[in-house]
Amino acid sequence: MNSRRDFLQKIAAASIVVPFFPKTVEAATESYQGPLLRVAILGLGSYGTRVADAMQTCKKAKLVGAISGTPSKLKDWQSKYNIPEKNCYSYQNFDQVKNNPDIDAIYVITPNSLHKDFVIRAAKAGKQVICEKPMSVNAKDGQEMVDACKKANVKLLVGYRMHFEPNTLEIIRMRNAGEFGKIMFFQGLSGFRIGDPTQWRLNKQLAGGGSMMDIGIYSINGARYMVGEDPIWVTAEETKTDPVKFKEGVDETIQFQLGFPGGAVASCLSTYSMNNLDRFFLNGVQGFAELNPSTGYGPIKGRTNKGELSFPHVTHQTVQMDEMSDIILNGKQPIVPVDGAEAVKDLKIIDAIYLAIKTGKKVDVKL
C-alpha cells in the first residue's frame, strides 16, 4: 500500500431533501429539484479525482469546473467529466473565475503549503471556498485564510469528511446523550507505510511536515469530536528510524498526548512507517465506543458496549459535498463544524505538538 488514498471503494449516495429555493437548478436526478452548488476543483491529483468521481452521484453539488497547472489534465477532465472549456483555468489565470457566473465554489486540493494562496485568491474572486485538510501548514496562516474569506464575505469550509459519517455521528449522539457516562480516555491510531520517497508529502516545503500533517490530523480532530471537548495541553515525542527518507522537518512517527478540561486524556500515534493503524477508541465510566477502521475511505466499522453499529456504507466525499452544498446554500449547521475556525483549532494543536517535541515539555493549548 503506497497510501491510504489508494483504497478502493464503491460509489454510493444517500438522498436528502432540502427546502426549495427561489433560484433553483434541476439536479441530474429525478428525485431532487433544488439549488445546486456548482463546484470547480483546483488541483487535479489523485484525491481531486476521487472527489470528482464521488460528485457524479451527488444530489446537491455538481462538478462544473477544473483548475490545474497541467494543461493535459484539464483536457482529460473536460472529456471525462464533460466540463466546458470556458470553466477550465490554469493556476496563473484562475483569478478570472470572478467573471464566471457558472461557478459558485472552488475546492482547493493541492499540497498543503499551497492552500493559503489559492484560498485567498478564490475568496478575492468572490467564490465560496472549500479547502482540503490540514487547511494550512500552521495556525497563523490558517487564521489569515479565515480572515480573508470573512473580508470577502464568502464561506470557508474544510474537507472534514468524517464529520458526516453515520457511525461516527451515532457515537457522538450516544456520548451527548450520556450513554457512555463521564468520558475518561481516547486512543487514536493513525498511520500507514508511505511509499514513493520523492512524493510531495515527504517534502517539507510542500507538506509543512510529515505524517502529522497528513494522517495524524485525523487523530487530533477525532479526539476532539469523540471526547466532545477541546484539549488544554499536549505532550509529544518523535521517533525517526529512517532519516534518509524522512529528512529534517519531515516527521516519521509522533506519539502525542492530549489533556481535556473535563479530566479525559488522549493517547495518539501518527506514523508513516506502520500499516494497520486506523482505530479510535473512546472509554467512559459507563461504556465504550470503537471505530476500526475509523477514518479510511470505508466501510467504517463501529461498535459500542451496546453492540455493533450497522449503518450502510456511503461514499464519504459524495455525502460531504451534498452536505457542504446545504451549508453554503441553505445555511445548514452541521453536527460537527467543518468551517475554517474548526481547522484553525487543529492547526493550533499541531503547532503545540511540534513545540512539545522541540522543547520536551508539556505545552498549554488555548483554542
Once rounded to an integer, what is the mean pLDDT over residues 264-293? 98
Q: Is 218 a catalytic residue?
A: yes
* pLDDT, position 312: 94
Average pLDDT, the chain: 93
Q: What is the mean pLDDT of the segment spanning 345-357?
A: 98
Catalytic residue among 81, 89, 107, 218: 218
Helices (H), ranges, 245-339 = 316-330
Q: Which residue in 60, 127, 133, 348 is the catalytic one?
A: 133
Across residues 162-191, what is the average pLDDT? 98
For the chain, list the domains and their CATH numbers: 4-161 (3.40.50.720), 162-311+340-364 (3.30.360.10)
pLDDT digits (tens, 9 = 90+) for 130-158: 999 999 999 999 999 999 999 999 999 99
Q: For residue 13, is pLDDT > 90?
A: no
- Those residues whose C-beta lies under 8 Å from the C-beta of residue 117, and which sit 6 or more positions away, are none
Query: Residue 298: what residue type?
Result: G
Mean pLDDT of 105-118: 98
Residue 344 CB-half CA count within 13 A: 16
- Can you tell me the mean pLDDT for 44-71? 98
- pLDDT 10s digits, 234-261: 999 999 999 999 999 999 999 999 999 9
Is 70 exceeded by the pLDDT of residue 1? no
pLDDT at 30: 53
Look up 133 and say whether it is catalytic.
yes
Q: Check residue 6 and give its pLDDT.
A: 40
> Is residue 190's pLDDT more than 90?
yes
CA dihedral 149, 155, 158, 159 (to 10 degrees): -140
pLDDT tens for residues 302-312?
Answer: 999 999 999 99
Contact 123, 153 (CB under 8 A): no
As a whole number, mean pLDDT of residues 89-111 equals 98
- pLDDT confidence tier of residue 91, bands split at 50, 70 and 90: very high
* Cell numbers 484560498: residue: 119
Tell me which residue has cell 451496546: 306
Residue 245, class by beta-carbon neighbours within 10 Å (0-12 exposed, 13-18 middle, 19+ buried)? middle
Q: How confident is the model at residue 99 (pLDDT cuts 50, 70, 90)?
A: very high
